[in-house]
Amino acid sequence: MKKLTILLFVGFLFAGCEQDETQAETFDRNIMEIEQYLVDNSLEAEMTETGLFYTIIEPGGEDKPNISSTVNVDYVGRTLGGTLFDANEDISFPLNQVIIGWGEGLQLIGEGGEVDLYIPARLGYGQNPPAGSAIEAGGVITFNVKLNSFN
């Protein structure tokens, strides 16, 4: 009986270790998931140094917002599996108060521009997505964002 208890304990330890993914492992998995998604859907995107994938649909004007700008946007947010988790039109907020992927991605387009963002967890909600959200911990999220204006 003692051997069985020890074996079960050791088994639980290993099972727990296998389920706990490091941030680096999550990031690597996210990158592979995004790349596979792009291939499966015949999409092209560029990747920044931070791991944000993006497709500029419309570049917009020459002037672009910076991280201190307040932007007015229309957007649709989905999980990589396609589940809608958020959408808004004509909403304004400071770029320095949003997830990193948004702050970085919206600086790539000008007023009137549109971009698709493919955001790995570390640039999104990480392991702590909003409560009740369709976003999984460590999950990739996507956004289509139209930049109406900024100041």
pLDDT digits (tens, 9 = 90+) for 10-39: 333 333 444 578 999 999 999 999 999 999
State pLDDT tens for residues 69-128: 999 999 999 999 999 999 999 999 999 999 999 999 999 999 999 999 999 999 999 999
Element (H, E) at 41: none
Q: Name which of 145, 99, 143 is nearest 122 in CA terms.
A: 99
Please, are residues 78 and 85 in contact by the beta-carbon 8 Å criterion?
Answer: yes
Q: What residues does each domain of the chain span? A: 22-150
pTM to 2 decimal places: 0.86
Out of 3.10.50.40, 3.40.50.620, 3.90.1300.10, 3.30.2130.10, which CATH number does the structure's domain 22-150 have?
Answer: 3.10.50.40
